[in-house]
């Protein structure tokens, strides 16, 4: 049997496997009581699935609802409508005891490692804590913490040091180690590399990819930079004001974007080569997309209509459904 045949069979098996995570018609509104009922939706009818061993990238501008979706999945934000299922089990409104049970299988890596590491605790104590909660003996928890630190490229003796003794990139590696020490099935990475410099970003992204391949992990990778998402994700979901604008295979969405917003997002993505950056700037200007600050939110229809160069009266009155355009699903009447 050829290598290509094996890879094809593996891909087909992944597609036919039950979803690790399924988000259906998710709606999130902020506020309480009547205020929440009348508030605009921060997340409005979002659907996507994540298969075992798959990375789905969630990308969009600030305020698009990316982190809100991550919090809803982790139980940190109340869901107003729709559902979230993990390994076939509905966890939309899971209580605290159920969430504690999920704590070992559903983990998170956040943007700021300082907020997830107690400065008064040693690295070993922080890493061992989720294991100790699950009844792992102190000696075994310490040994597993040392092994995990070694796996993320840090020395075993780091268990006895404090967060302040490490650089920002090293602290993010420690956060990854803490998220993975319980051998989870799904990790939500919420802007996990956005605060790092480019070289450290690359190191952490390579680490996440290696660990995914070794352990068969699934990731929901949330970021505002579509080029970062392109590196790690197999599929991409593009959000704008809480709604999906485009979704599909990472290569199709990032290399041949169909929605005007995705095109603008790709053109705005920074690159290290000045000449290429200048070309991207020209492309972005030629698209004719208005800046977010220049327009108010649309009361109906497509949320991007007030900024879109293709928009007509139909766009302001009728919300476009996701339809197939090439390999992607695109929410645009004219894409």
Please report the pLDDT score of residue 307 as a whole number.
86
Same domain as 172, residue 241? no
| pTM: predicted TM-score of the whole model, two decimal places | 0.86
- Residue 225 resides in a domain: yes
CA angle 231, 5, 9 (to 5 degrees): 70
Residues 140-152 have pLDDT tens digits of 999 999 999 998 8
Which residue in the block uniquely carries the two structure tokens 């929410």? 331
The arrangement of strands across the sheet holding 186-190 comes to 106-109, 186-190, 218-223, 55-59, 235-240, 243-249, 328-330, 323-325
Long-range contacts of 284-290 (CB under 8 A, 24+ apart): 287/260, 287/263, 289/260, 289/261, 289/263, 289/264
β-strand pairing of 89-90 with 55-59: unpaired
Place of tokens 């506020």: 31
Range of the domain at 138: 115-181
User: In this structure, how many other beta carbons lie within 10 angstroms of the beta carbon of residue 292?
Assistant: 16
b/e per residue 153-190 (b: at least 16 CB within 10 A): ebeeebbebbbeebeebbbbbbbbbbbbbbebbbbbbb
Q: What's residue 168's pLDDT?
A: 85
Give domain status of residue 12, yes or no: no
Residues 176, 256: one domain?
no
* Phi, psi for 325 (deg, rounded to 5): -135, 105
Q: What is the pLDDT of residues 229-243, one digit of tens each?
A: 888 999 999 999 999
Looking at the structure, do residues 188 and 177 belong to the same domain, yes or no? no
Query: Are 73 and 142 part of one and the same domain?
Result: no
Q: Are 173 and 289 members of one domain?
A: no
Q: According to the model, what pLDDT value does residue 271 have?
A: 62
Which helix (H) or strand (E) segment holds residue 249: the answer is: strand 243-249
Domain membership flag for residue 75: yes
- Of 135, 165, 181, which residue is a domain's last? 181
| pLDDT over 80 at 264, yes or no | yes
Are both 313 and 226 inside the same structural domain? yes
Whether 3 is in a domain gets the answer: no
Q: Are residues 165 and 291 in the same domain?
A: no
* Residue 110 domain-assigned (yes or no): no
Q: What is the pLDDT of residue 287?
A: 61
Residue 107 scores a pLDDT above 90: yes
Question: What CATH number is attached to the domain comprising 285?
Answer: 3.40.50.300
Percent of the chain with pLDDT over 90: 53
* Residue in the structure block whose two tokens are 């690295």: 123
Residue where a domain stops, chosen among 181, 211, 236: 181
Banded pLDDT at 221 (limits 50, 70, 90): very high
**CA atoms of 63 and 81, how far apart (whole Å):** 19
pLDDT at 294 over 70: no
User: Looking at the structure, do residues 234 and 305 belong to the same domain, yes or no?
Assistant: yes
Render 45-66 in DSSP notation, one character per residue: EEEEEE-TT-EEEEE-STTSSH
Picking from 237, 266, 252, 246, the residue whose alpha carbon sits closest to that of residue 326 is 252
Q: Does residue 226 belong to any structural domain of this protein?
A: yes
Instruction: Tell whether the model's pLDDT for residue 195 goes beyond 90.
Output: no
Q: Give the model's pLDDT for residue 60.
A: 92
Region 127-140: mean pLDDT is 90
Low-confidence winner among 11-20, 61-70, 193-202 (lowest mean pLDDT): 11-20
175 with 314, same domain: the answer is no
What length is written for the chain?
335
Q: Which residue has the higher pLDDT, 157 or 13?
A: 157
Q: Please state, rounded to an integer, the average pLDDT across all residues of the chain.
A: 86
8 part of a folded domain? no
Say whether both 308 and 223 belong to one domain.
yes
Q: For residues 335 and 332, what is the distance between their CA atoms, to the nearest angstrom?
A: 5
If pLDDT is split at 50, 70 and 90, which confidence band does 4 have?
A: very low
The CA dihedral of 152, 154, 159, 162, to the nearest 10 degrees, is -110
How far apart, in Å, are the Cα atoms of 262 and each of 20, 266, 330?
26, 6, 10
Which among 159, 181, 203 is the end of a domain? Answer: 181
176 and 188 in a single domain? The answer is no
Residue with tokens 């907020």: 115
121 and 198 share a domain? no
**pLDDT at res. 253:** 94
How many domains are there within the chain?
A: 2
CA-closest candidate to residue 259, choices 219, 190, 315: 315
Model pLDDT, residue 322: 93
């Amino acid at each position: 049997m050829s290598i290509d045949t094996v890879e094809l069979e593996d891909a087909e098996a992944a597609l036919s496997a039950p979803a690790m995570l399924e988000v259906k018609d998710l709606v999130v509104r902020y506020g309480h009581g009547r205020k929440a009922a009348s508030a605009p939706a921060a997340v409005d009818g979002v659907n996507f699935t994540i298969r075992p061993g798959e990375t789905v990238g969630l990308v969009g501008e600030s305020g698009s609802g990316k982190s809100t979706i991550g919090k809803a999945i982790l139980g940190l934000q109340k869901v107003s409508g729709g559902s979230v299922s993990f390994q076939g089990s509905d966890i939309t409104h899971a209580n605290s005891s159920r969430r504690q049970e999920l704590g070992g299988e559903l983990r998170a890596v956040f943007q700021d490692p300082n907020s997830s590491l107690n400065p008064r605790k040693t690295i070993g104590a922080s890493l061992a804590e989720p294991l100790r909660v699950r009844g792992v003996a102190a000696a075994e928890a310490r040994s597993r913490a040392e092994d995990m630190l070694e796996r993320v490229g840090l020395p075993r003796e780091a268990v006895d040091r404090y967060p302040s003794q490490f650089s920002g990139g090293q602290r993010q590696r420690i956060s990854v180690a803490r998220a993975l020490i319980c051998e989870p099935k799904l990790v939500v990475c919420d802007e996990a590399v956005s605060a790092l410099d480019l070289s450290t970003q690359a190191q952490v992204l390579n680490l996440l990819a290696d660990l995914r391949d070794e352990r068969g992990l699934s990731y929901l990778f949330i970021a505002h930079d579509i080029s970062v998402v392109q590196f790690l994700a197999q599929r991409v979901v593009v959000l704008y004001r809480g709604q999906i604008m485009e979704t599909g295979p990472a290569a199709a969405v990032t290399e041949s974007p169909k929605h005007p917003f995705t095109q603008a997002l790709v053109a705005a993505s920074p690159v290290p080569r000045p000449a290429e950056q200048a070309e991207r700037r020209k492309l972005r200007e030629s698209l004719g997309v208005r800046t977010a600050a220049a327009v108010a939110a649309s009361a109906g229809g497509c949320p991007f209509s007030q900024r879109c160069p293709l928009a007509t009266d139909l766009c302001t009155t009728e919300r476009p459904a996701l339809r197939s355009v090439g390999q992607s699903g695109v929410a645009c009447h004219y894409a």
